[in-house]
Amino acid sequence: MWYVVDGMDGCGKSSAASCITAKLESEGRRVLELTHPNRGTKIGRKEAEYLLQDGKYAKIMATLMYIFDVIHSIRLMKKAKKTNEYDDFVFVRYIMAVSYLPKPLAKLAYKFFEIVFPTPDVKIFVDVTGPTAMARINSRGEELETFETEDQLTKTREKMLMFIPKGWHLIDNNGDFENTKTQILEVLDEVKHGDP
């Protein structure tokens, strides 16, 4: 089974993915979890570098590197499926990253990648408000990426929510993580009983 956990920066994608991975592994399943940007690859490291730079060129290059990073992960997943090395795959961030682009381009890019990229079995969108995301990002004490301002995050969330009705499970992560975990486990239970 292929799970995608997506959402904007600071929403809790990684925590949600870890929850999914832990639950699946507790059931004896072999899970490969891949995060984007994947700092374990040259492409992922370049993407991370561009995300820390300002300007249109940096945004375009970060987006291109992101696309190549995801393609690399898809190839890894396909290879692992052929060798039957893993039972499940969890991607942290997939095509929702196009929402960081200007709105008309984001719509076009989403439609394009929805057609061109393979469709995950389970799509989970972790939602938070812009102010909540910004507070979480600031609490990390890390250098801010080019897209990480409260205003930009609020606009990005609005664009992401345009795409949600199309087969995504919406997880509200504005409260405590125990509530979020409960929502995630409910989705996994639905999937287990044949309702992806």
**Sign of the torsion formed by the C-alpha atoms of 61, 35, 169 and 89:** positive
pLDDT of residue 132: 93
SS (H, E, C) 122-188: EEEEEECCHHHHHHHHHHHCCCCCCCCCHHHHHHHHHHHHHHCCCCEEEEECCCCHHHHHHHHHHHH
| The one-letter amino acid at 111 | K
pLDDT for residue 167 is more than 80: yes
pLDDT of residue 8: 87
Distance CA 99, CA 162 (A): 9
Name the residue among 99, 103, 74, 110 with its Cα closest to residue 2: 74
Strands 88-92 and 168-172: unpaired
pLDDT of residue 63: 82
Q: How confident is the model at residue 79 (pLDDT cuts 50, 70, 90)?
A: very high
Tokens (6 digits) for 66 = 């992101």
pLDDT of residue 146: 64
Q: What is the mean pLDDT of residues 155-168?
A: 86
Q: Could you report the per-residue pLDDT of 28-77, keeping only the tens digit for each?
A: 999 999 998 888 889 889 988 888 888 878 878 888 888 899 999 999 99
What does pLDDT average to over the chain? 89
| The one-letter amino acid at 75 | R
Backbone angles phi, psi at 8, to 5 degrees: -80, 170
pLDDT of residue 145: 72
More confident residue, 8 or 23: 23
Task: Give Cα 69 to chain centroid, integer Å.
Answer: 12
Strands 168-172 and 31-35: unpaired
User: Which domains occur in the chain, in start order?
Assistant: 2-192 (3.40.50.300)
pTM exceeds cut of 0.85: yes
Q: What is the mean pLDDT of residues 169-189?
A: 94
CA dist 43 → 63, 70, 147, 152 (Å):
11, 10, 19, 25
DSSP string, 15-31: HHHHHHHHHHHHTT--E
pLDDT for residue 144 is more than 80: no
Q: Lowest mean pLDDT: which of 76-80, 93-97, 129-133, 186-190?
A: 93-97
DSSP conformation class of 95: G
CA angle 102, 13, 151 (to 5 degrees): 35
Distance CA 177, CA 163 (A): 24
